[in-house]
Structure 1
Amino acid sequence: MTSCKQGRAGQNQSLTLHFSQPLATNPPAPAIKRYGYAYHEDYGSPKTDPATVAPGKISVSQDGRDLTIELKLTAGQIHEIDLSGLKARDGQPLEGKKLYYQAAKVL
C-alpha cells in the first residue's frame, strides 16, 4: 500500500487505499477495530473504548490499484484495519498486513 485517503462515498465516510500492484477482484471485507488511548503526562495507556466496526461496501477501482472501504470513522480514534485477507491480482499476499489510521477530523 502506498497511500490512504479519507473521503466520502456518496453519503458514507470512506477510506481509499492505493496499492502499487493491482488487487485481486472481489476482495474479502477486512476486520476493523476502533479504539483510543488516554492522553496524559505518563508514558503508555491501555486501549480505551474498544469496538468492532462493520465495514460497508468494499470496492476495487477498474485498474485494481485502489480499494475503497465504506466505514464509520470516529475522530481521534485509531482504526485498525486487517488487510491480511487481501491478495495481489497475481495471487501473491500483500507485504503489509495491517493499517492503523487516525483521523483528527472526520470529513
Structure 2
Amino acid sequence: MNTKIKNKNLIRGQRYLFSQKAPYYENEKSFRANFLNYYEHSNTLIINSSETERSPMTQVSIPFDWITKIQTLEDILERENGGGGGVVLPSDILLQIDGYI
C-alpha cells in the first residue's frame, strides 16, 4: 500500500529517515523507522522498528505535524553525491544495509 503525504509516496514497510520537531525538543531530531500507516482523520503517522529509550523495536504513533522531513536512503545518497544520480547500489542492497544502521 502506498500513501502520498508531504509530496512523498510512502510505501508500507519501507524504512525512512524521519526528521521531527516536537514541542518539547529544543532542536530537530532525526530517526529511522519503517512506515506502517497514516491516519488522515487524526493526522497521525504510525511507524515501527524505531529505537526508543526503552526498546530497540517499538511501534509508535506520532503527530504528523511534528514531521519536518521524510527521506529514503536513496534520497540521502543522491544528496551526498551532489544530486547527480550517482547512486551505484541497487535498492535491494540499500535495504539490506539499512537494516544494520
TM class by smaller structure:
under 0.3
Bigger helix share: 2
**Which has the higher relative contact order, 1 or 2, with Cα contacts under 8 A spaced 6 or more apart?**
1
TM-score normalised by structure 1 residue count: 0.25
Larger Rg: 1
TM-score normalised by structure 2 residue count: 0.25
